[in-house]
Amino acid sequence: MPIVKFVAILPSKVKSPAMYAALESQMLNFVKEIPKKMIENTWDSWEGATPTATVSVSSSTVSIIGTVYIAGNPAGVEKWQWLDKGTPPHIIEAKNAPYLAYPGVFKAKTRPAAGGKSFYGSMPGGKSGEMVYRVSVNHPGITARSWSKNIANDVKDDYKNSMNYGMARAAQVSGHSMSRIGAKPVGGSTGGVGFGMVNKRRSRGIAGLLGRVKKAYKRGVQVLQQL
């Protein structure tokens, strides 16, 4: 199950294999070291079934895409989805037994998002206290943790800095400077961030270069896409 996809838009074709390799390496390093680890932290203190987080990086002539997935144990994936998306209030009834039996105290190990930003951690908690016996209970539901909804925006600055560094590496292996290939980070009103790249040799003077960069950035403004 995809959680978040990071799309680095390349408005002009990148023809150098060395440049592709530098950009793909930086994208892989970013998704492994920041969003993947943040997601893994959400089940750090869980007991029982837990999911796993995996990453992939792919590229084309116009983009490089890094994706973080939730996979592994189906019960762990289901539990993570319940916490991520939330659940409505519901009734739980005894099945295959006359009563439900459960400890009377429960402390959640995760907590909901606050102020539009998620908490990517897992705290001590769980079930404790004396056993309670009921035929049915009214479960209040689970408040959504919104990890998959918020993570793209929560790592926005890290992503921009990482890909800025990746563009510097790509420029270095191409034999040109950042200014020569017309590359720099992009920020968008939608909250997406990434980078655009324009071949300076195809533009006519500074005015032409700036015009091509502006158009490229408009096409690439929504480059941080939430699935």
**Quick one: 138 and 155 in the same domain?**
no
The 10s digit of each residue's pLDDT in 157-199 is 888 888 888 877 877 777 655 544 444 433 332 233 333 333 3
The 10s digit of each residue's pLDDT in 36-64 is 999 999 999 898 899 999 999 988 877 88
Domain that holds residue 189: 2-73+149-226
Task: Report residue 210's pLDDT band, with 50, 70 and 90 as the boundaries.
Answer: very low
Regarding pTM above 0.85, the answer is: no
Residue 101 in domain: yes
**Quick one: 134 and 28 in the same domain?**
no
**Quick one: 22 and 120 in the same domain?**
no
Residue 6 in domain: yes
- Return the pLDDT at 145: 92
Mean pLDDT, the chain, integer:
75
- Return the pLDDT at 21: 86
DSSP secondary structure letters along the chain: -EEEEEEEE-SS----HHHHHHHHHHHHHHHHHTHHHHHHHTTTT--S--EEEEEEEEE-SSEEEEEEEEEE-HHHHHHHHHHHH-B--EEEE--SSSSEEEEEEEE-SS---BTTB------S-EEEEEEEEESEEEE--B----HHHHHHHHTHHHHHHHHHHHHHHHHHHHTS-HHHHT-EEEE-TTS-EEEE---GGGS-HHHHHHHHHHHHHHHTS--EEE-
CB atoms within 10 A of CB 227: 12
Side-chain half-sphere exposure of 197, counting CA atoms within 13 A = 27
Task: Report residue 13's pLDDT band, with 50, 70 and 90 as the boundaries.
Answer: low
**Total number of domains constituting the chain:** 2
